[in-house]
């Protein structure tokens, strides 16, 4: 069974709502799904303190992501709020610390897909997703975008081929049903690609086997 790790950061619940929908969709697609929140930073800029406190209580039992969780997964979804047109710094900080598994190629056979929530239309959701696509290239993983061929992706509140984007209008837990439907497609597509890739890898020679772990251990202390 394909294991999907859904890694997210959220402050007012929108990205969390998207992550929950993605997990349900991955399970519906026949995979095993686990949500992970990335560690918070020491002094987060919080706009909606009530929603932040409620979300902290609601996600108290959601495990904090570790690098081992990335390695254990076949497929990874990353969910982020948009911060000044970029992914949230919590997500970037987590990725910054992924060297010990990224450098030796332990993430190279992962299939990865990204979604984002911003407050306003055209205010950086796609830029944030594409910024995370850059990181995924450094991991050597396979990016699964949404594309635009399927009807659900053309619903009025969808349209970004890169990954599902929501517009919260500064409201907590305000993800539109069009976006939830797009996430169902995105998770199904991710599970499909991860399944095909897993079967295909059993029938081919892995390029990753050429990684010289001894050299990396010497150079980076990994």
Which residues sit at the interface with ligand FMN, rule CB under 6 A? 10-16, 45, 47, 81-85, 117-120, 123-124, 168, 170
Length of the chain: 222
Tell me if residue 51 falls in helix, strand or coil: helix
Q: Closest approach of Cβ 82 to ligand FMN, in Å? A: 4
Q: Closest approach of Cβ 73 to ligand FMN, in Å? A: 21
Q: Closest approach of Cβ 86 to ligand FMN, in Å? A: 8
* Closest CB to ligand FMN among residues 123, 211: 123
Q: Closest approach of Cβ 164 to ligand FMN, in Å? A: 13
* Closest CB to ligand FMN among residues 11, 189: 11
- Which strand (E) or helix (H) includes residue 165? strand 165-167
Residue 69 CA to residue 77 CA, distance in Å, equals 12
Residue 113 CA to residue 74 CA, distance in Å, equals 12
Residue 20 CA to residue 26 CA, distance in Å, equals 10
Q: Residue 87: which of 53, 114, 56, 121 has the closest Cα?
A: 114
* Closest CB to ligand FMN among residues 15, 113: 15
* Closest CB to ligand FMN among residues 105, 118: 118
């Amino acid at each position: 069974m394909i294991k999907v790790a859904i890694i997210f950061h959220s402050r007012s619940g929108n990205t969390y709502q998207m992550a929950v929908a993605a997990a349900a969709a991955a399970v519906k697609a026949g995979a095993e799904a686990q949500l992970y929140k990335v560690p918070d930073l020491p002094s987060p800029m919080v706009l909606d303190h009530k929603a932040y406190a409620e979300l902290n209580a609601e996600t108290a039992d959601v495990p904090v992501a570790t690098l081992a969780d990335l390695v254990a997964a076949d497929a990874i979804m990353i969910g982020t709020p948009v911060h000044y047109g970029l992914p949230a710094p919590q997500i970037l900080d987590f990725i910054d610390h992924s060297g010990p598994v990224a450098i030796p190629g332990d993430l190279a056979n992962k299939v990865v897909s990204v979604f984002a929530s911003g407050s306003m239309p055209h205010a950086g959701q796609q830029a944030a997703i594409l910024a995370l696509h850059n990181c995924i290239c450094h991991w050597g993983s396979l990016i699964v975008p949404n594309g635009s061929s399927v009807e659900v992706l053309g619903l009025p509140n969808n349209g970004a081929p890169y990954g599902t984007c929501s517009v919260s209008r500064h409201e907590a837990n305000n993800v539109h049903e069009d976006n939830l439907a797009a996430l169902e497609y995105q998770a199904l597509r991710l599970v499909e690609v991860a399944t095909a890739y897993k079967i295909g890898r059993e029938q081919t020679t892995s390029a990753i086997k050429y990684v010289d772990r001894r050299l990396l251990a010497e150079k980076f202390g990994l």
